[in-house]
Chain A
Amino acid sequence: MKLFRGFIIKEFYHILRDKRTLLVLFGMPIIQLLLFGFVITNEIKDIKIAILDNSKDKVTRDISQKILSSGYFKLDSYLTNVNQIEEVFRKGNVKEVVVFETDFAEKMKRQGTAKIQILADASDANTANLIASYTTAIVMDYVNKQNVSATIPLQIVPEVRMMYNEQLKGVYMFVPGIMAMILILISALLTSISIVREKELGTMEVLLVSPLKPIQIIIGKVTPYVLLSFFNAVIIVVLGNLVFGMPVQGSTILLLAECTLFIVLALSLGILISTVTNSQQTAMLISMMVLMLPTILLSGFIFPISNMPWVLQALCQIMPPRWFIVIIKNIMLKGTGLYYIWFETLILIGMTAVFILLSYKKFKIRLG
């Protein structure tokens, strides 16, 4: 036990004296969380639009007003003729142009139908889709309100409610993903590097020729990172809550327990990487390649898994973050207990066991 404590103290000296490690350890999570939270967002807010009003009557003014006061859109300019449309799109400021036909109010009154054209800049397809449907919805809403008095024969009105994220906040999507990414990156990257560094500096040679058992070396190297990563998880949860209002509906203890499980998994992955590499650079590259990209792309963090081709879907199933993100979302957003996530938890435990077993088998008690 004393031996173990000595080892951990030594490990803490290494971490605390290396500014780069410290920066990666504590700077990266905060910066990434804030970056992802603020920069990457699917939300529609203050989109600049232009309006070409060929009618300029009360109805078109009302509709324009309604669109602009929704909070989603902001007026860039009023256009005066059709030729300007192409021009404003080319300039790139305007994402949408709304065109009212001539004699709009007249036609509506007499024929019961009038035309609005919505032109969207689809060089960004997703946004174009979103803003077009938002605009349509606003127009429909206006029409419905005008018709309150009129009797409409048969009408089905779907009541839509977005459960667990009523405002469709992007942050709710990202915080669990970022958490998975940061925990796996930091834990796996830093452990693999710190173990490989001992090999590179030749100190592993001395550690091997000592009464230390491989398991003691590994646990000694890993324990400080478990503590630090756990601390990181707490930072992310707290920051997510304070800055982005990300709730923790379920049990905090369960959440932290699952985080710890995931950290241990990531660390065992890091150990595994360190057993198959001999230089810090290779360890770093492997960690990045094996962990970072799959975590972002194949975990359901950004792209929904169900839309992927089956080969990739199958690949997703072996990505630890894929399961962790489900767990986190369940606890944080839905407030569910272990009863609903025992399967995912079991998978994570299973993966951890496999990684630990593999690294134990691969850990060399000799050189070469």
Chain B
Amino acid sequence: MLFIEAHNISKSYSKTLAISDISFDVKKNELYGFIGPDGAGKTTLFRLLTTLLLPNSGTISINNWDVVKDYKTIRKNIGYMPGRFSLYQDLTVEENLTFFATIFGTTIKENYDLIRDIYVQIEPFKTRMAGKLSGGMKQKLALCCALIHKPELLVLDEPTTGVDSVSRKEFWEMLQNLRNSGITIVVSTPYMDEASLCDRVALMQNGKIMQINTPQGVISKFPKPLYAIRSDDMYLLKNELVNYIDCESVHIFGQNLHYTSKSKVLNVNNLTLFLEEKNHTGISISPINPSIEDCFIALMTENSTSDAK
């Protein structure tokens, strides 16, 4: 069953096109991720979903409610967590939660089951001002506030940005628990490694969706074998690999360079010889499985070359 259906939506701010001709659909009870760098249009898209902005063209419906016509019904039934921390900094954790429960016509008690797992982590700080919480705590509180009225749909705009990696991991576990308890979740993130935690992802760039797939699907579509290459002098290595005849792409990934060749299969021996000639030592070349980030970069380059044409 489709919960969100978006058809050919576009949105521009005066002259800049923020979203151009996007279509997608989210199934009921799905954890759906929008992955893309800053400025890809994720926040605009989420504001369209949450009825805060009107699309210039195209239609979006949530549970068959139209975002333009039925915005009041939608607002009652979704939980929204904006990208910026949007709680009252001068109110305590508990006061914030009580306030949001009240304006949605409910109480903390009534829906405590839903937030219990998350709230117990911040409960020790319930008399602390929200502005004085750590980044991870703030996001947990914001999630509680967005959940307190038992929404059917959760819209989370970059909930893990600026949060340490441990809290990020916990946060995603919470999202998966919520999904399992029957809530549909749409989430955006600039972190590629989080994509694999979604049921399906839409890879966004420059206001367009490049691909929609399951995380595995995205990876399996990676066109060529991928190699991790390293040597003792990484800086020179990159410059020299770019000039290698068979090189299609080289990107720095942490300790390694990720490399694809123009030919179908990389001739490892030839490449090793080439590098040894350039006086590289400690050379290691090994095939690896591509990550979402590899796929994203491949798609980006593909798009920009096709745009150039």
Contact = CB atoms under 8 A, between A and B. Distances in A.
B85 to A, nearest CB: 7
Contacts of A7: 99, 102-103
B54 A366 contact: yes
B103 A211 contact: yes
B90 interface: yes
Interface stretch (B21-29, B75-83, B174-182): B75-83
B86 interface: yes
Interface string A1-13: 0110111011001
A14 B87 CA distance: 12
B50 interface: yes
B132 to A, nearest CB: 13
A9 B72 CA distance: 25
A205 interface: yes
B103 A205 contact: no
Given A205-B82, A366-B53, A3 B102 contact: yes
Contacts of B84: 201-202
Nearest to B86: A202
Nearest to A15: B90
Interface size class of B (residues with CB under 8 A): 20 to 34
A202 B54 contact: no
Contacts, number: 79
B95 interface: yes
A18 B90 contact: yes
A368 B48 CA distance: 11
B104 interface: yes
Contacts of B91: 10, 13-14
Nearest to B13: A368
B61 interface: no
A289 interface: no
A145 interface: no
Contact of A13 (B51, B85, B87, B95): B95
Contacts of A207: 103
B128 interface: no
Nearest to B75: A209
A8 to B, nearest CB: 11
A366 B52 contact: yes
Contacts of B75: 208-211
Interface size class of A (residues with CB under 8 A): 20 to 34
A202 B82 contact: yes
Contacts of A206: 80, 82, 86-87, 100, 145
A325 to B, nearest CB: 36
Contacts of B78: 209
A201 B96 CA distance: 14
A17 B13 contact: no
A202 B84 CA distance: 7
A210 B86 contact: no
Contacts of A210: 75, 100, 103-104
A6 B102 contact: yes
Contacts of B100: 206, 210
Interface string B48-63: 0011111000000000
A18 B90 CA distance: 8
Contacts of B51: 209, 366
A212 interface: yes
B89 interface: yes
B98 interface: yes
B238 to A, nearest CB: 41
Interface of A: 2-3, 5-7, 9-10, 13-14, 17-18, 201-203, 205-212, 365-368
Interface of B: 13, 47, 50-54, 71-72, 75-76, 78, 80, 82, 84-91, 95, 98-100, 102-105, 145
Given A6-B103, A17-B90, 16 more contacts: A9-B99, A13-B95, A14-B88, A18-B90, A201-B84, A202-B82, A202-B84, A203-B88, A206-B87, A208-B52, A209-B78, A210-B100, A211-B76, A366-B51, A367-B52, A367-B53
Q: Which 6 A/B pairs are nearest by Cβ-Cβ distance?
A: A6-B102, A202-B86, A202-B84, A209-B80, A367-B52, A211-B76
